[in-house]
Structure 1
Amino acid sequence: MRLLALALACLTAVPVLARADTITHATSLRALETGDDTRGWQAVGRLDLGHGSFCTGTLIAPDLVLTAGHCLYDKRSGALIDAREIEFLAGWRNGRAEAYRKVSRAVLHPSYHYGGPVGVKRSEFDLALIKLAQPIRLPQLQPFEVSRSAPYRGEEVGVLSYAQGRSEAPSLQRNCSVLERAGATVVMSCSADFGASGSPVFSFANGRPEIVSVVSAKAEMGTRPVSIGALANGVADLRQAIESRDNVATTREIRAGGAKFIKAN
């Protein structure tokens, strides 16, 4: 399997015309532009990172948002983003969110390494949990469950994302599939573009959407556009680390803007 991978990182939130090949690949995406469309999906939101950039994040507990680890880094300097510049816009659609929350601290998976060449290896454990300054407790914003099982090759999955050219409303793709498993990552036929980092990948095997992966990068398999996702079964380690201030045996704390960022050694 030969993959040419491209980091999704985050996207400057200005209107950008999609390339023709991007438009072709995204035809199976459905924009959720009305209240009826987004019902049940509002726990997915836009994660604004400051300076007009963003990723996608998902509420998995009233005060916890799951996203990609590399979203917490400034792609120009390689430094962690100041917590004061991060805001979660739950259910963001057409200029309005169901809830707005600032961030108190965040944790990266201890096995994730930001440096190094972009590719499947770099996408391994590309996970982060963000602790909100205040929990979101609204009946329409029910956190999504994280599956303890990894998706199998050939399994049909779906992705909900914000991305280049579609930053003002989420788009849903339900008919993509897992092409390969590689270490702690999956390669999928799902559409991905800049800004889609951190998007939840859902399995519907149990009759309800459960998160099985988080979008990390877009890539090409031959001439075929694909996406790479970090397996979500590492989230249990992140929950333990972020909910226990004493559990820092394999991490070091970085204080930024009064918030705690915990970075792997």
Structure 2
Amino acid sequence: MIVPRAEEEDVDRRSLHERIAADLRDDIMSGQLAPGAKLPSTVHLKARFDASNATVQKALQLLKDERLVVGRAGAAVMVREHRQRTIHPASYMAPAGPGEPYRWLAAVERQGVRARSKLLDVSEVTPPADVAAALNLPQGGEAALRHQLLLIDDEPVELVKSYYPLEIARGTAITERRRITGGTPALLAGLGHPPRLSVDRVSARVPTQEQYRALRLPSDLPVLRTLRVVYSDDERPIEATVMVKAGHLYELQYEFAADATG
């Protein structure tokens, strides 16, 4: 029998345990299964998904590997506390005040956890094509790179690569292998390039090998990739940053005021 093409396209070709994990993951991420809540029993899941005990256990193991749930054989499986974090990107653009830490670090620590950044590399490189275009670099042009890993309670949460035009970065702390007090927004403002506008382009992607290792990802679940371009006066691009975080653990929240002019 020949299956019509439309029906072929409607088939979910994932293994049943992957499909079960996907549905339960959505329940967790949406809050239907809140932090601390018990997952439905194995008996219930077997009936709901018409699956064997072994298949349900494989699905639950995926969620355990993803650090979304905890539990052991013979005991209830529960949603881990505080696994999903909502990020407010717009709140991190403004420079920190004198002597204050980078705004991301301060915001996370207000949630009662320990946050830190690990500087991985500082160098001059030829950036990816989308970054080069954002910074208006010539063909083969280089930029200053600051490569960092952000951690919460020693767990890697975000891989960050920030690029700066060399005419701005050279001779400044941007090109030095050390932390910058208040972060680069404060430094750029002090150099006469105050951040005026930030534009984000967010996409979901399969993680690269580097991202997979650095973020200790449990599988090839998508990551959230944000390309943020920061502009100063006269719409001059002064920074382009690629930020990558685990897609199953984070969501981004943007807030927009209604346009009164219509």
Alignment TM-score, normalising by the size of structure 1: 0.23
Q: Which has the larger radius of gyration?
A: 2
Q: Where is the helix percentage greater, Structure 1 or Structure 2? A: 2
Alignment TM-score, normalising by the size of structure 2: 0.24
